Amino acid sequence: MNTGKTLFAQLMDFLPWTSFARLVTLYGGDRYAKSLRCAEQFRVMAFAQLTYRESLRDIEICLSAQPAKLYHMGFRQTIKRSTLADANEQRDWRIYAEFAQRLIMQARKLYAGESLDFELENTAYALDSTTIDLCLSLFTWASFCTTKAAIKMHTLLDLRGSIPSFIHISEGKRHDVNVLDLLIPEPGAIYVMDRAYLDYTRLHALHLAGSFFVTRAKSNLDAQRRYSSPTDRSTRMICDQTIILKGRCSRVAYPAHLRRIRFKDPQSGKTLVFLTNHFTLSASTVCALYKARWQVELFFKWIKQHLRIKRFFGTSENAVKSQIWIAMSVYVLVAIVKKRLNLNASLYTLLQILSLTLFEKMPLQQALTLPNTSKKQKKDSNQLFLFDF
């Protein structure tokens, strides 16, 4: 690693810039650009994410404070907030969306060997969405109700490594279940979802594609038991049954057999009813899979706390989507660096280090490697440790 480079430049070297250039050509991103081309725009926005900048003026002042280092960080000119604002408004957001997907493919290969807390050979995904509230007077294109605007970020999270494999940004009014129409089912994969995605027609389409699902049943489930498998009541497993739907519409929408598992949660005391089309997994594994779905909730909470996706640098739809996709690219990039450099620190720790040292000139591995301490530090029980992989 060239120690003459700033840490920011070394971090940017991990990006596949050849693929980025092809995407820029595909969407004509630099066609009318006289200054601040797409690559520089990406670097500026990535810098803003890594250093927790709050506004365009904040970005401009921070970068202008280190003029001697800007060229070696990939900036060919002084960054002006008006120029950056125009770039966010005009450069096609699909460039950054597809670039993020390229990075996601790399990250998923690196984390494919990660183990779960239970034995499972299949690829497992957790599907959910989060709502990002916006100001209605500024983001008129994202009307949600009469008093506010909002967008939704639908995410399919690979449970091995907590890497998002699919992201779709929609208006806040879009119901969660509709995103199932956008997914390309992966044969043999298991999709874990909550009751918002319980649509028997769409679930049957997953079944016909050779995919599996795990979800929770609604309280008004109308079904008839066909078979019962023995269960161990000491594991709080109440029943494991093969059922068929009885409702007139639901029976037509899902004519095949389903598996119903009743489990009593030892913490809350509630009885949870799970539905799945996977008949060979143990009942305890099905329950563990649904419990692992909580990772996607932690992912949403984490990115809202540590990435800039709640305060935007532009008000147009293009600017908002560009910022979200670049934020996802930064998240996945740090995950890739962590794996390739074999770092033990969490993503949170790496982001904190980078936020203070991007202008420094030292080997990236050295900067991100934490010193060994003889004393074991006690973890705060309130701290999220989802990303300590």
Contact 78, 64 (CB under 8 A): yes
Q: Using CA atoms, how far apart are residues 82 and 89, in angstroms rounded to an integer?
A: 11
Mean pLDDT of 294-309: 89
Q: Is the pLDDT of residue 375 over 80?
A: no
Confidence of residue 381 (pLDDT cuts 50, 70, 90): low
Q: Is the pLDDT of residue 386 over 80?
A: no
Give me the residue label for tokens 């990303």. Answer: 387
Q: Using CA atoms, how far apart are residues 249 and 297, in angstroms rounded to an integer?
A: 32
Contact 260, 241 (CB under 8 A): yes
Q: Using CA atoms, how far apart are residues 306 and 244, in angstroms rounded to an integer?
A: 45
Residues 6+ apart with CB under 8 A from 268: none
Q: Using CA atoms, how far apart are residues 294 and 162, in angstroms rounded to an integer?
A: 11
The pLDDT value recorded for residue 207 is 96
Q: Using CA atoms, how far apart are residues 297 and 291, in angstroms rounded to an integer?
A: 11
What's the angle, vertex CA 163, arms to CA 159 and CA 169, rounded to 5?
110
Domains of the chain by residue range? 7-96+313-368, 194-280
Q: Count how many Cα atoms sit within 13 Å of the Cα of residue 294 in the half-sphere of its side chain.
A: 7
Contact 96, 320 (CB under 8 A): no
The pLDDT value recorded for residue 339 is 93
The pLDDT value recorded for residue 295 is 92
Confidence of residue 389 (pLDDT cuts 50, 70, 90): very low
Contact 95, 24 (CB under 8 A): yes
pLDDT tens string 149-202: 999 999 999 998 889 999 999 989 889 999 999 999 999 999 999 999 999 999
Share of the chain above pLDDT 90, in %: 66
Q: Using CA atoms, how far apart are residues 170 and 181, in angstroms rounded to an integer?
A: 13
pLDDT tens string 228-263: 988 888 888 899 999 999 988 999 999 999 999 999
